[in-house]
């Protein structure tokens, strides 16, 4: 294992207050998002949409790495350039989602186990040769009546650690993503307890299996009340609960924590990340950043609608959300910045 390279890559992924762009929606998920907006669902529209993203001028100013899906890493721009090369030329490190999705956990109704370990070693070698330098694996934990079970937490932690060791062996930085879902009526306190429990289990397995903590990134959920909980907490309460939960469970050797957005609106996700950095940036051991999909992409997708003529405006929206999140990493995100309307992509907000 070349430990030096993975440590350098992990550091680069969280440097300069940049963050990760998750553009690794599986084909069914991408199609579902297209269908909701009336966009045709086929390989060419998925390719065209991803070309829009990788061609966004200036994206590398605020995005350090982009997570691709298997179909996307094999695709090219219209001019024949691979997406991997386009990203690398833009100063963005290509990454790859390598799990094969969350499937029903046998014997545990309502719970999921992420699959994809079979043949993973070979797939990682291929992805490395294609230019990927980091990878992602997402485990899904739901909160509900009597769940999560220890069986669900332990089996997903074990798989995350097996994936992470295989990645490091192949020279790829593992993004370790145990996502506690927002769906449900649970309180912020319940989310805190489950997230803490899950993270302890994950780091126990990462330690047991010998993962180099300096060469990985954690991608957790923020600690939030469930979407159907009548009591939604303030930005400050969310920031305090999230960072305190991480302080209880994430070793200081981990260089960075990059949150998923989990379906939060873009502005809310930026505001919460901003509150965490305002209150804790100077006193925490890791970089606190982002690895958002919907919270960066959604406005751009809603502008694009599958039409070539909408590409520049959609790119402007994508650029804007990425910049807002970079500002949130510095604790400098505010309404003025959010409301800054760009006339065109050359007229970028001054941050
Ligand atoms: P969201 O930010 O839309 O939750 O997606 C992040 C992600 O990569 C989920 O695996």
Average pLDDT score over residue span 53-79: 98
* Ligand 1 midpoint to CA 205 (Å): 23
Backbone angles phi, psi at 279, to 5 degrees: -85, -25
Ligand 1 site-directed mutation target among 97, 292, 299, 301, most atoms within 8 Å of CB: 292
H or E element at residue 303: helix 294-304
For residues 117 and 58, give the distance between their C-alpha atoms in angstroms, rounded to a whole number: 36
CA distances from 43 to 47, 161, 216, 232, 293 (A): 6, 33, 32, 40, 19
**Inter-residue long-range contacts of 197-203, CB under 8 Å, 24+ positions, other chains counted:** 197/153, 198/141, 198/148, 198/153, 198/157, 199/245, 199/246, 199/248, 199/249, 199/250, 200/249, 201/153, 201/154, 201/157, 202/157, 202/160, 202/161, 202/176, 202/178, 203/249, 203/250, 203/251
The DSSP code sequence of 31-43 is HHHHHHTT---SH
Ligand 1 site-directed mutation target among 220, 293, 301, most atoms within 8 Å of CB: 293
Helix, strand, coil percent content, the chain, rounded in steps of 5 = 50, 15, 35
> pLDDT, tens digit, for every residue of 131-140?
999 999 999 9
Average pLDDT score over residue span 218-247: 98
* Ligand 1 midpoint to CA 100 (Å): 15
Please say if 193 is a catalytic residue.
no
Q: Any bridge partners for residue 138, and if so which?
A: 177
CA distances from 331 to 201, 217, 283, 340 (A): 30, 21, 13, 17
* Ligand 1 midpoint to CA 313 (Å): 23
Q: What is the DSSP letter of 222?
A: P
For residues 36 and 20, give the distance between their C-alpha atoms in angstroms, rounded to a whole number: 25
The pLDDT value recorded for residue 259 is: 98
Instruction: Outline where 56-213 has alpha helix (H).
Output: 70-73, 83-89, 120-130, 150-169, 188-208
For residues 348 and 321, give the distance between their C-alpha atoms in angstroms, rounded to a whole number: 12
> pLDDT, tens digit, for every residue of 329-339?
999 999 999 99
**Which residue's alpha carbon is at the smallest distance from atom 10 of ligand 1?**
138
Judged against a pLDDT cut of 90, whether residue 190 lies above it is answered with: yes
Indicate the average pLDDT of the chain.
96
User: How many residues are given for the chain?
Assistant: 351
* Ligand 1 midpoint to CA 292 (Å): 5
Please say if 177 is a catalytic residue.
yes
Q: Are 172 and 1 in contact (CB under 8 A)?
A: no
The pLDDT value recorded for residue 341 is: 54
Q: Are strands 93-97 and 63-68 parallel, antiparallel or unpaired?
A: parallel
Average pLDDT score over residue span 81-106: 98
Instruction: Considering only the C-alpha atoms of the chain, give the largest distance between any 2 of them, rounded to a whole number of Å.
Output: 56
Catalytic residue among 219, 307, 323, 336: 219
Angle at 203 between CA 199 and CA 174, to 5 degrees: 100
Ligand 1 atom at shortest distance from the alpha carbon of 67: 8
Count of other CB atoms within 10 angstroms of residue 208? 11
> pLDDT, tens digit, for every residue of 250-274?
999 999 999 999 999 999 999 999 9
Among 15, 16, 19, residue whose Cα is nearest residue 293 = 19
List Cβ neighbours of 347 (8 Å cut-off, separation of 6 or more): none
Average pLDDT score over residue span 13-21: 98
Catalytic residue among 177, 196, 237, 348: 177
Among 191, 254, 183, residue whose Cα is nearest residue 219 = 254
Ligand 1 atom at shortest distance from the alpha carbon of 261: 2
Q: Are strands 112-114 and 102-104 parallel, antiparallel or unpaired?
A: antiparallel
Q: Are strands 134-141 and 112-114 parallel, antiparallel or unpaired?
A: unpaired
Judged against a pLDDT cut of 60, whether residue 194 lies above it is answered with: yes
Judged against a pLDDT cut of 70, whether residue 347 lies above it is answered with: no
Residue with tokens 């790119």: 315
Structure tokens that stand for 228 in this block:
């159907």
């Amino acid at each position: 294992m070349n430990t030096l390279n993975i440590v350098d890559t992990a550091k680069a992924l969280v440097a300069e207050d940049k963050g990760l762009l998750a553009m690794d929606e599986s084909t069914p998920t991408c199609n579902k998002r297209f269908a909701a907006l009336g966009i045709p669902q086929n390989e060419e529209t998925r390719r065209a949409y991803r070309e829009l993203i990788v061609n966004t001028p200036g994206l590398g100013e605020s995005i350090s790495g982009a997570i691709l899906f298997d179909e996307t890493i094999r695709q090219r721009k219209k001019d024949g350039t691979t997406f991997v090369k386009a990203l690398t030329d833009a100063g963005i490190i290509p990454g790859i989602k390598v799990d094969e999705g969350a499937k029903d956990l046998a014997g545990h109704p309502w719970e999921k186990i992420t699959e994809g370990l079979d043949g993973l070693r070979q797939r990682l070698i291929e992805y490395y040769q294609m230019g990927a330098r980091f990878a992602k694996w997402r485990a899904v934990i739901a909160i509900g009546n009597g769940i999560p079970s220890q069986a669900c937490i332990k089996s997903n932690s074990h798989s995350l650690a097996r994936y992470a060791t295989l990645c490091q062996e192949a020279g790829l930085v593992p993004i370790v993503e145990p996502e506690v879902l927002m769906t449900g009526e649970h309180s912020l306190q319940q989310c805190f307890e489950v997230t803490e429990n899950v993270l302890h289990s994950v780091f126990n397995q990462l330690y047991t299996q010998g993962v180099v903590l300096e060469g990985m990134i954690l991608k957790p959920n923020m600690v939030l009340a469930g979407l159907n909980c009548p009591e939604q907490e303030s930005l400050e309460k969310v920031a305090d609960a999230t960072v305190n939960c991480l302080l209880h469970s994430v070793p200081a050797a981990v260089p960075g924590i990059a949150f998923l957005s989990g379906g939060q609106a873009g502005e809310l996700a930026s505001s919460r990340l901003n509150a965490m950095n305002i209150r804790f940036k100077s006193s925490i051991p890791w970089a606190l950043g982002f690895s958002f999909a919907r919270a960066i992409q959604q406005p751009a997708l809603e502008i694009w609608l599958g039409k070539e003529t909408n590409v520049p405006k959609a790119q402007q929206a994508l650029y804007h959300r990425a910049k807002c999140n970079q500002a949130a990493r510095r604790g400098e995100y505010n309404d003025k910045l959010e409301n800054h309307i760009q006339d065109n992509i050359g007229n970028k907000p001054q941050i």
